[in-house]
Amino acid sequence: MKFGTKAIHAGIEPDSSTGAIMTPIFQTSTYVQKSPGDHQGYEYSRTHNPTRTALQNNLAALENGKFGLCFSSGLGAIDAIIKLLNPGDEVISTNDLYGGSYRIFTKVFQRYGIKFHFISMENPSDIENYVNANTKLIWAETPTNPMMNIIDIEQIGKVAKKHQLLFAVDNTFATPFLQNPLDLGADMVMHSVTKYLGGHSDVVMGAIVVNDQTLADQLAFIQNACGATPGPQDCFLVLRGIKTLHLRMERHCQNGREIAHFLKSHPKVDKVYWPGFESHPNHEVAKKQMRDFGGMISFTIKGDRVDDAKTVLENLHYFSLAESLGGVESLCGHPASMTHASIPKAEREKVGLLDSLIRLSVGIEDVEDLKADLDAALAKV
């Protein structure tokens, strides 16, 4: 199946009892058994739920994987991956990444004896400088949040394989429509399903997709044992959202391209971070591993004044000032005080995340309205 057909049909069958074309919401906590241990594959909804099963199978198909697992949030999915490790193990991570990922790594798991190295991965060979006998996992995010750096998944996959390391990729910004890390050598692909996969800003969820049976079994054990599982209503909403993922992503990419070029030519805008520009340092890698460049953009205003950034954010209308991204509506954010506030200022600035940086999630509205909105807000500076 091609992608659009997968989004609508993969892993999904009409309900066998009624013929309902939409997957039912199995709003139940438990399941009747004929005899102890004699059941129809379902015992308790933390362990398995038919609505969740359909979603997990659909997500696996979209990522060209064999096994999908859903969690109550993206951080719940990250939590499960790091729980594969033991005290004393080490992780090599992207240095430009979502603030929540940095927080759970440094404030939660580091306390249990897991060490994290945050490095630039733009040159994959640099990773080998940090590999030692304790290294167990490489964690990459691409495009990175919020600086829009691109990491060569295929090259890092080769490094991971050479040293027999697990390799996980946060694919939230790209989605499976634009990029499939498992095809490029990753062992695990993780999503904040809250974002583009759900697509309508009405669900919080996370997911992991893998190909290896042993890895899938280990993650499923953690999923059940630790209990960070989503409810059937949320799974239903994501299944509904995914049916239009390919259509939405096409429009996000179209609008993102226009907004990126609009900002680049605007007299009050300084730097624009978007991998579709030929001047982007990782543009060729993005062309190689992505099908398009997405709808996420970061930019700064000339003078790099925090007050100017706040003025713009306070005067946008169609770009709503809010956490998150990937919904049909356009959002704007101030990473330094919102999504990345948990990262120390000195660490943020090492990767170029200044207090004046603005991040946009370009929605699927009429792009002329979005440009007019930005232009009016920038005129206040």
The set of catalytic residues is 46, 98, 170, 195
CA separation for the pair 145, 275 (Å, rounded): 12
Q: Quick one: angle between helices 50-62 and 232-242, nearest 10?
A: 30
Beta strand 188-192 with 206-210 is antiparallel
SS3 content of the chain, % helix, strand, coil (to 5): 40, 15, 45
Cα separation, 203 vs 346, in Å, equals: 33
- The answer to whether 13 touches 6, Cβ cutoff 8 Å, is no
Q: Using alpha carbons, select from 277, 96, 244 the residue that is nearest to residue 170.
A: 96
For residues 34, 40, 45, 48, the Cα torsion angle rounded to the nearest 10 degrees is: 150
CA 207/CA 191 separation, integer angstroms: 5
